[in-house]
Structure 1
């Protein structure tokens, strides 16, 4: 692509960024190329103002240098990922877990194998697919934050913090998930639904 150096091309290849996801921002302000990139589904801008730290000219839509810190790139890529948002339930713990995954089977097996939050009876009870699942996930977690619970569990001989665990009913969690999809115009398709009562746990808000 014209305007990209060999070093930049190699960097993009190394980090699995196809050229069709790259935007030529020459002559554009950050506010303008942000809008254009968002509309076109672009991940990386080039021909931007060089960063102060390394004089690099590859940035995310939000203007972060991806060559100084690749975490900005990974965060941007994940936000654009399609996938599933799931609600899993544990009857033993009387809690729900909300998360993002590329595949239902792989993630549900992993939750029980690793005894996530110290529990091994996780079941996927409500699942949606969205083309923007990566950016949908943090919005759901924000809305559910008042019901969040803190759990520690051992994994790989290390004490881990269990995130994304909530004390509320499946009906409440489902309603919040669908409401967020509609509020922020996320497309979604229900892949697995649940209309029983076994996972309608008591709602406990954080103090």
Structure 2
């Protein structure tokens, strides 16, 4: 498990990178942690091999050292983009998470599939469409700094550390997000976003809560890529499910409706004709 140095903490603060964008890649191969970071929309990896120039142990998900070249962060940060800032909570553990997402439904599904922070019952307590979503997220988390906790979970045989979770009520986390919005977003812009769906963002009501089944409709055989898209997951996850069923197929091949139904059921979806 990697521990951030004072220098690294200062670097993250200067560039307004919240801990929810930092991924503990200790013991992982580069290809493994980069794939995980893309799926979870992480920006910075820690616990990686030192860079040649300065011996820094942080990397972007593109594999570059952000401390040697801050230009490597420009494309990844995108703090001024519109999106959703959400508060997720876990009834089982009593902890909360503040994050950003373009598609809240997919993000919560991913968190639960990963058992993120050792929790698999994440649910959305609050979400709001924001301009400068990354800055709102960072500010909201900084307001809860005294409640920050660290938890670990296992992924691919490696222990992953999560440092952006909070031991407070979901209501308190929601209040911190609302305060951050008031400080960062102009009221006029907030009104515009509240009336319209953010471009490319899934509707908030589509978020799946724990134990709530989402219906997927297909009429017959379906391509693996299409099935994955319907469930909001990566296509290779469907291939992994098939391998566990001793079915060997490629991404551009079809699965029968009966097989698709088994995969959907495993992942909490209901298949309709």
Instruction: After TM superposition, give the deviation of residue 157 of structure 1 in Å.
Output: 2.1
Contact 1:78-1:135 within 8 A present in 2 as well: no
**Count of matched residue positions in the alignment of Structure 1 and Structure 2:** 129
Alignment of 1:151-166 (within 5 A): 151-166=151-166
Q: Deviations over 1:70-124 (max 9, x none)?
A: 423135x421221111100101111111111111111000000000011100001
Helix, strand or coil for the counterpart of 1:79? coil
CA distance in 2 between counterparts of 1:167 and 1:192 reads 25
Question: Which whole-Å CA distance do the structure 1 matches of 2:107 and 2:135 have between them?
Answer: 18
- Does structure 1 retain, via aligned residues, the 8 Å contact 2:88–2:170? no
The residue aligned with 2:118 is: 118
1:27 corresponds to which residue? none
Once the two structures are superposed, the pairs formed by residues 1-207 of structure 1 within 5 Å of their partners are: 68-75=69-76, 77-185=77-185, 187-188=189-190
Q: Provide the C-alpha distance between the structure 2 equivalents of 1:71 and 1:154, rounded to a whole number of angstroms.
A: 29
Cα distance in 1 between the residues matched to 2:71 and 2:170: 37
What SS does the aligned partner of 2:81 have?
A: coil
Contact 1:83 1:133 in 2 (8 A): yes
SS at match of 2:185: coil
Over aligned residues, Cα RMSD in angstroms?
A: 2.7
Report the Cα offset of residue 185 of structure 1: 3.1
Question: TM-score by structure 2 length?
Answer: 0.43
TM-score, reference length from structure 1: 0.55
How far 1:175 sits from its partner (Å)? 1.4
Which structure would you say has the larger Rg? 1
SS at match of 1:120: coil
Q: Is the 8 A contact 1:136 1:181 kept in 2?
A: yes
| Structure 1 stretches lacking a partner, 5+ long | 1-64, 194-207
Cα distance in 2, alignment partners of residues 97 and 68 from structure 1: 30
- What SS does structure 2 have at the residue aligned with 1:149? strand
Where does the alignment leave 5 or more consecutive residues of structure 2 unmatched? Answer: 1-65, 195-202, 206-273
CA distance in 1, matches of 2:185, 2:79: 15
Aligned to 2:260: none
Query: Which secondary structure does the structure 1 equivalent of 2:135 belong to?
Result: helix
- The answer to which structure has the higher helix fraction is 2
Q: 3-state SS of the aligned residue for 1:164? A: strand
SS state at 1:159 partner = strand
